[in-house]
Amino acid sequence: MRRMKMLDFRWPLIAVIVLAALSCSDDISSPGEDPPIVLGNSGAYVVCEGIRGQDNATLSRLDDSSNALYNNFYRRVNPGLRLGDTANDILLRGDTAYVLVSSSETIECINTSTGRWIGRIHFPEGFTPRFMAATSPRHAYVSILNKDCLLAVDLLDLTLADEVCIPVGPAPEKLYHWDRFLAVANSGLGSLRSDEAKAGTVSIVDIEQRREIANFTAGVNTVAVMALPESNRLYAHYIHIPSSTWPQNDSLGGIIEFDITNYRELRHWRTPSISYDFVLSHDRSSLYFITLRGIESIDISETAVDKARLLIANDGGDRNMWYSLAVHPLDGQLWIANARRFTSAGQVILADPEGQILARHSVGINPTAFAFFKTPL
């Protein structure tokens, strides 16, 4: 696997926490022994990014039928292969799962049912892939963090679909597809590139024209974006990262609602978010996000700007760092990734939509993304 030679993209968000943890933490550890693998046809994959530079990203799998958890799943079903260095995203299409591995500059492709390795998409040397969004059964676009652009990949041929990178803003992060458009969050890497043009903005890319057609301010350190075309709404999520050089125009972070037809700001919620993820509830009426208090939600079905409410309290103190979040598409369960102190085995917490904790599972280091699957028997 090739190694990235640039600054870690998560550095502005977790540097202080990680350095403190490394100076006084327990030894790096992994979950216990997995049970013998007996695969069902539905469940979830958990991407664990590992620690940058240690080539220890892993993939866990939780099977619905047996409720069995298989840690180090990728390596167990592919002897001799490693997932790579710093895995960040996963995408399911057809019978294939695509795992984006940033520091290795690859997308690892596996059969969803068996986990067997199929192939690998390579990015040009020095390109740091960050997140993915599928735009058709064949194509997906990938944000390239250090080149400030989007690259298209061919999900069937496992190649780059086009070597031309579509320019957007500095440090593009999460992206969202609808119709023929992509919305892209341009973070500016917190304070590191905050003085550059288009930092803290959203870019709208027309896929057919293969160019940016709009760009607008969306807070500072904008990290994620979501479109709800049925209601002509677009949401941008930004998180504040204090530093001596940070422009102190927003001490919290927040979620901003825009009209998708003209990108005019409609509502603005101030939220002390600490994670990139914000997700839509199963009934599409609320947005969930992570703060130091736990999982909070805002109601987007009302016209008023109501205060966020605490749905699930994080009572683990500074030893529990909730890192990412997903909603199961079938039952609306919340899947919470707990990175703990970023240097030891992480945890996945399952809760119902009312906030009741249902289960906890130990997984790899720094769980960061989920993918839910159901394959033919």
What percent of the chain lies above the pLDDT cut of 90?
75
Summarize pLDDT for 186-198 with one digit per residue, the tens.
999 988 898 999 9
pLDDT at 244 over 60: no
pLDDT band, very low/low/confident/very high, at 11 (cuts 50, 70, 90)? very low
Q: CB neighbours (10 Å) of residue 241?
A: 21
Summarize pLDDT for 165-193 with one digit per residue, the tens.
999 999 999 999 999 999 999 999 988 89
Residue with tokens 């002509």: 232
pLDDT at 211 over 60: yes
Question: In Å, what is the CA distance from 282 to each residue of 279, 289, 333, 334, 373?
Answer: 9, 14, 8, 9, 17
pLDDT at 220 over 60: yes
Summarize pLDDT for 88-123 with one digit per residue, the tens.
999 999 999 999 999 999 999 999 999 999 999 999
Summarize pLDDT for 51-75 with one digit per residue, the tens.
999 999 999 999 988 889 999 999 9
Looking at residue 34, what is its pLDDT? 56
Residue 47 corresponds to which amino acid? Answer: V
Residue with tokens 């550890």: 29
Looking at residue 161, what is its pLDDT? 95
Looking at residue 12, what is its pLDDT? 41
Residue 86, token pair as written in the block: 């710093």
pLDDT band, very low/low/confident/very high, at 21 (cuts 50, 70, 90)? very low
Phi, psi of 252 (to 5 degrees): -115, -65
Summarize pLDDT for 285-334 with one digit per residue, the tens.
999 999 989 999 999 998 777 789 999 999 877 678 999 999 999 999 99
CATH fold label, 11-41+82-324: Methylamine Dehydrogenase; Chain H (2.130.10)
Q: Is residue 129 within 8 Å of residue 113, measured between CB atoms?
A: no
Looking at residue 33, what is its pLDDT? 58
Looking at residue 3, what is its pLDDT? 34
pLDDT at 373 over 50: yes
Looking at residue 327, what is its pLDDT? 97
Looking at residue 15, what is its pLDDT? 42
Looking at residue 2, what is its pLDDT? 34
Looking at residue 24, what is its pLDDT? 38
Looking at residue 249, what is its pLDDT? 52
pLDDT at 23 over 70: no
pLDDT at 345 over 60: yes
User: Mean of the per-residue pLDDT values for the chain?
Assistant: 88
Q: Is residue 6 within 8 Å of residue 53, measured between CB atoms?
A: no
| Residue 241 or 282, more confident | 282
Question: In Å, what is the CA distance from 223 to each residue of 136, 190, 253, 304?
Answer: 23, 9, 11, 24
Looking at residue 377, what is its pLDDT? 61
Domain boundaries, the chain: 11-41+82-324
pLDDT band, very low/low/confident/very high, at 245 (cuts 50, 70, 90)? low
Instruction: Find all residues with CB under 8 Å of 158, minimum gap 6, and list them.
Output: 109, 118, 119, 120, 121
